[in-house]
Amino acid sequence: MATTTPEPLLSPEMLAQLERLELVSRKIFRGRMKGERRSRRKGQSVEFADFRPYVQGDDLRFIDWNLYARLDRLFLKLFLEEEDLHFFSLIDASASMDFGEPSKFLYAKRLAAALGFIGLCRADRVKIETLGQAVANPGPTLRGRRSLWRMQEYLEGVQADQNVSLLDGVKNFCIRNHGKGILVLITDLMDKQGYEKAFKYLMAQQMDVYIIHLLSPEELEPDVSGDLRLVDCEDADVAEITVSRPLMQRYRQTLNAFVDGARQYCSRRGMTYMLASTETPVDQLVSNYLRQRGLVR
Amino acid sequence: MWPTWISPFTWWQGIIFAAVPPAVVIALYFLKLRRHPLEVPSTYLWHRAIEDLHVNSLWQRLRQSLLLFLQLLILLLVILALFRPGWRGTELLGDRFIFLIDTSASMNATDVEPTRLEFAKKRVDELIASMKSGDVAMVVSFSDEPHVEQAFTDNRRQLRKKVAAIRPTNRRSDLTKSLPIVAGLANPGRSSTTGTDDIQVATAQPANLYIFSDGRFDSVPEFDMGNLDPTYVPIGEGQSNNLAITAFNVQRNQETLDQLQAFASIENFGDEPVTVTASLYLDDDSADSAVIRDAAEVTVEPGKEKGVQFDLTGELEEGILRLELDETDHLQLDNRAYAVINPPREVNILLVTSGGGSLEQVLSTGGIADMAQVSIMAPSQLSQQQHLESAAAGAYDLIIYDACAPAVMPRCNTLFIGTVPPAPKVVGTEATEEEPSPAEEAEPAAVEDGADSPIHWVASEVTIEPIIVDVAQTHPLMQYIELSDVLILEATPLLVPPGGTTLIDSDAGTLLGIAPRDSFEDVVLGFELVSGEGDPNTNWPIRRSFAIFALNIVHYLGGATIELETATIRPGDTMTIRTEGPVPSIRITDPDNQTTILKQENADTFLYNETEQFGAYAVRQDDKDEITQRFSVNLFDTNESNIRPIEKLKIGAEKITGERVWQPLRREAWKYLLLLVLCVLLFEWYIYNRRVYL
């Protein structure tokens, strides 16, 4: 196993903590394979749900013969279906994510790994991709607890050097992944073309979309001073500033407006938006904040 | 009020000079590496943040250049400070002030309206009015004596009241006594002794000293101003004219003694020759008005002095002569002078001699006989009770002891010839029965006291043929005396007690000395006129100088001089009044007819010091109406009569140039500018470090 970080993405303690959790979808999705998840749909399982009259064509195996003997009518026993869930983690791997201490990208990978592990534990189908994922090299689809190491290996191999726009990345993802399920997009939303178009694509997917807006403390409360030439690490765009109190106030206002705008945009379109700072530990974020938001339980 | 500048440049040079440094700073500002590059995740938010600020970008640029503006401001202030701006104003600088106001006679001059003193008071009043709250000031007036009108206070009303109450005097001015008073308050120097440690108790109190005067006083050579910051404000016009009587006295004509001669000296302190009529009045107590006795027209060249002489014929036993100039000049005080004619009084002289000496002959000459009554007594009578009483009561003006000495010194001036006065008795003043011989008297004193610092007269061992090397001819006793032809066989050189003066000095030591004793003076001659065997010891008695010496003795020691000529003093001086024989009290009537009664304190001598007014003072004995003597008070001071103010005072090593207050004080602003620079610098530092724009 190639190790690019001094410590594994998920520590054993964290794994133990995550084991108890489960991903929740607010929507009913048809899984491709039978999973450990009790679906709202009726299906084959040991858990009885209801009876219904037999109609022609129903599977004879589910006829309740005891009832037929008593009532002389055919009833079908219905069972709750247990099915799997599609869980997608989409990580923004642009250069802007590689900032902060720990970097936003590492944080995003940890978060994706944590959520993925929850899914793996519940036999969901977990797929982790980056925005700039090459079509020829799609991310692995993982299932089962044994895939944890594959997932980690894969995540550790991902580098934050894929400078594609949010729109292009999302479009690329949506083309390749049609299924229904839960989509967690971990990004800093720092795209000069805006996020709105990209989010529209996500809406069209009719997935249960979670946007985790990841910002580093350096972005939330910049500790800068003096006359500066700010260079964008993605497109080398330059902004000359002289740090001053009004400017810092203005920055904070802009940031707040930006965050509020994104939140409103998402909530109006049935997406769940969440602002996360890399200061918050991943396990805390998962077990507290995401739990509150209903992603996990 | 516009500031004035002290700058070596003309205005356009100044502008060029002032423009260069800001230009350099601006150039450096543009040349400097403007911004530090910093890589950020995204400039997305930053762009959006500065978008709004770009709306008013000019103002933003200005704001961004605040440091530059602050630097330019600092530079501007420094340049401004270098040009030394200042304001002219009468505002006082400092917080402790001493106003020293001259109240001497010359301050009565009217060359500035209304008088110099009033003008000075007005200036002080203005300065007090411009004192800041919390400032303290002190007012001292001075003539020949300082007078603290008001000690340090911040009560301006009190200060102004005290200044308004200052009155002119007729005295001379003398700064030597005033300066220690004001300096003592500003300079430490007093110490307190507790146990063995000497602790400084006074702390330095720097003060601004303002001297309001015409500067007509002697320079004060040895004085350290220390913490005092003196400012001299000359009062008076530089073109002042004054004509003054600088001397006026009356003498009996040497040839015809019943005739009087009045001499006056008139001095012109102006620039133009002045012709003036000097009128001589005789004020008679009996007559209501003064009688003009004589007048003379005198022309005095500028800066010169001219003498006038009046011959007064007729029997004039007593009276007051008044000389007046009809000139109207800036100082009227010195245009009038008084001289008194006292009834002739004989000097009472006792000569104690074994007889046959040349002294008796000399004292019996006509000149002396007219002035003095000489009694002669043998040395053996010295111990007689009658003599002791009269000697102790001060019945004589002068006692001459020729080769003898009394047991107790008499209460009068003495002349000892060939002997020395007895050592002062430690206990009691009773005369002893024994009659000390000169030799016996001299020997123990020498043994007791050693030779170096005698506290009384000591005669040394006999010296043969001493050679006279010096005669103190400036002393009144030795005037006109030439001793080069005098030979002496044997002499006992003298050791003069402290305070004494050597009058005749020889190669062996002092031959004639004078020393004070209480209110009297003792003159001791260190050689006998006639030796014990009757042979002449010296040829002095047959020289002319001996007769002159005798006359000087009668004049000076007998007090004849005062009686006849110099019964005039200056205002404020103490008049020593001697009566003929002891009287219990005297009454003195001043020119305003105010009478002062003086009780007897010291035999026949009375001291009177309320001599502020010019004019003639009359002295009466006891309750008698008869005037026994008179004296006059006159200015007679060229320093006071010369009323042109001095522009530069010299106090110690310091020369203080006069600053006329109406040429207002210059208030420098550079200190405040530099303070401002410091503040702006701090502000810039704060801005730079905190990145805060206000």
pLDDT of residue B504: 92
Provide mean pLDDT across the span B300-328. Answer: 82
| Mean pLDDT, all residues of chain A | 83
Q: Among all residues of chain B, which has the CA nearest to that of A258?
A: B45
Which has the closest alpha carbon to A171: A207, A142, A132? Answer: A132
Using the 8-state DSSP alphabet, how is residue A25 labeled?
A: -
Weakest mean pLDDT among B7-16, B49-58, B229-238, B510-519: B49-58
B41 contacts A99? CB cut-off 8 A: yes
Q: Please tell me which residue, B377 or B346, carries the higher pLDDT value.
A: B377
**Is a pLDDT exceeding 60 seen at residue B200?**
no
- With contacts defined as CB-CB under 8 Å, which chain A residues touch B64? 227, 242, 244
- A4: three-class secondary structure by DSSP: coil
pLDDT of residue B678: 92
* pLDDT category of residue A2 using cuts at 50, 70 and 90: very low
Q: Among all residues of chain A, which has the CA nearest to that of B36?
A: A228
pLDDT of residue A213: 92
pLDDT of residue B446: 40
| Mean pLDDT, all residues of chain B | 79
**In Å, what is the CA distance from A275 to each residue of A17, A208, A215, A223, A262?**
23, 17, 8, 20, 10
Q: Which of B33, B46, B59, B60 to mutate to test the interface with A (most CBs of A within 10 A)?
A: B46
CA A244/CA A231 separation, integer angstroms: 18
CA B245/CA B238 separation, integer angstroms: 21
> What token pair was written down for B533?
């065997």
- With contacts defined as CB-CB under 8 Å, which chain A residues touch B47? 237, 239
- With contacts defined as CB-CB under 8 Å, which chain B residues touch A231? 37-40, 43
Phi and psi at residue B537, in whole multiples of 5°? -90, -20
Q: Rounded to a whole number, what is the distance in Å from the CA of A240 to chain B's nearest CA?
A: 8
Place of tokens 């200042």: B86
* pLDDT category of residue B427 using cuts at 50, 70 and 90: very low
B38 contacts A224? CB cut-off 8 A: yes
**CB contact at 8 A, B302 and B270:** yes
pLDDT tens per residue across span A33-72: 555 565 555 666 666 778 888 888 888 888 889 999 999 9
B214-228, B271-285, B462-476, range with greatest mean pLDDT: B462-476
Residues near B421 by Cβ (< 8 Å), separated by ≥ 6? B405, B409, B414, B456, B457, B517, B522, B524
A250-254, B182-186, B667-671, range with greatest mean pLDDT: A250-254
pLDDT of residue B667: 67
pLDDT of residue B92: 58
A258 contacts B39? CB cut-off 8 A: no
Which has the closest alpha carbon to B260: B306, B317, B298? Answer: B317
**In Å, what is the CA distance from B431 to each residue of B157, B352, B415, B417, B445?**
64, 17, 20, 21, 18
Which has the closest alpha carbon to B92: B227, B229, B235, B234? Answer: B229
On whether any CB of chain A is under 8 Å from the CB of B32, the answer is: no
B48 contacts A230? CB cut-off 8 A: no
CA B579/CA B395 separation, integer angstroms: 10
**Is a pLDDT exceeding 80 seen at residue B72?**
yes
Looking at chain A, the whole-number percentage of residues with pLDDT higher than 70 is 89
Question: Which residue type does B508 have?
Answer: A
Phi and psi at residue B80, in whole multiples of 5°? -60, -45
CA A155/CA A130 separation, integer angstroms: 10
CA B89/CA B439 separation, integer angstroms: 78
**Is a pLDDT exceeding 80 seen at residue B541?**
yes
A245 contacts B692? CB cut-off 8 A: yes
* Chain A residues contacting B via beta carbons under 8 Å: 95-97, 99-100, 104, 188, 190-192, 216, 218-219, 224-234, 237-247, 250-251, 253-255, 258
pLDDT of residue B482: 87
Q: Rounded to a whole number, what is the distance in Å from the CA of A249 to chain B's nearest CA?
A: 9
> What token pair was written down for B73?
């401001």
Cβ-nearest to A228 among B35, B63, B692: B35
Place of tokens 């396990």: A283
Residues near B395 by Cβ (< 8 Å), separated by ≥ 6? B348, B412, B581, B582
B/e letters for B189-201, b = 16+ CB within 10 Å, e = fewer, are eeeeeeeeeeeee
Provide mean pLDDT across the span B135-155. Answer: 87
Q: Among all residues of chain B, which has the CA nearest to that of A193?
A: B44
pLDDT tens per residue across span B558-603: 765 444 455 788 888 888 887 766 778 888 888 888 888 888 766 6
Q: Among all residues of chain A, which has the CA nearest to that of B47?
A: A239
B692 contacts A244? CB cut-off 8 A: yes
**Is a pLDDT exceeding 80 seen at residue B666?**
no
Residues near B157 by Cβ (< 8 Å), separated by ≥ 6? none
Residues near B265 by Cβ (< 8 Å), separated by ≥ 6? B245, B246, B247, B248, B305, B306, B307, B308
On whether any CB of chain A is under 8 Å from the CB of B67, the answer is: no
Instruction: Please give the model's pTM, rounded to 2 decimal places.
Output: 0.47
A191 contacts B43? CB cut-off 8 A: no
CA B360/CA B529 separation, integer angstroms: 12
pLDDT tens per residue across span A81-126: 666 678 889 998 888 888 888 889 999 999 999 989 988 888 888 9
Cβ-nearest to A233 among B41, B53, B693: B41
- With contacts defined as CB-CB under 8 Å, which chain B residues touch A99? 40-41
> What token pair was written down for B301?
């060249």
- B400: three-class secondary structure by DSSP: strand
Question: Which residue type does B468 have?
Answer: I
Counting Cα atoms < 13 Å in the Cβ hemisphere of B691 gives 14
Cβ-nearest to B42 among A96, A228, A246: A96
Weakest mean pLDDT among B147-156, B293-302, B353-362: B353-362
A255 contacts B691? CB cut-off 8 A: no
CA B155/CA B165 separation, integer angstroms: 16
CA B690/CA B688 separation, integer angstroms: 6
pLDDT of residue B312: 79
